[in-house]
Amino acid sequence: MEIWHNPRCSKSRAAKAALDEAGVEYTERRYLDEPPTAEELDAVLTGIGAEPWDVARLNEPVAKELGLKDLEHDRARWIEVMVANPVLIQRPIVVTGDGAVVARDGESVRKALDSL
């Protein structure tokens, strides 16, 4: 299990605390410092069952600068933009052997834990 974590984000801290409380082993990936590759992000999106535009943080200043809301829905292009600007990736994401989940609430974290 791996958590794509931003320690400055309250939702990310809450998900990490829930994993700690559950006593599961996981790797913490501070994805802003260690961005995913395009292949990793593509695999995680597949695991979530989502397209990049479904998990993009469109209110980030860089999203507005890039005109992301108006960008054609081309999966490869969006992944490229998100890898180059990891702040655009919704957080936290919990990656398990069976897939991944955007873990912004307790129910999502439980879903990730249930997949173990």
Point out the residues that are catalytic: 9
Instruction: Tell me, rounded to whole angstroms, the distance of Cα 14 from its chain centroid.
Output: 14
Q: Which residues is 96 bridged to in the sheet?
A: 99
Tokens of 103: 């873990």
What does the CA dihedral 48, 50, 52, 56 come to, rounded to 10 degrees? -80
> Pick from 78, 115, 75: which is nearest to 95 by CA?
115
Concatenate the DSSP letters of all residues of 83-99 into one string: HHSGGGB-S-EEEETTE
Strand 2-4 and strand 93-96: the pairing is antiparallel
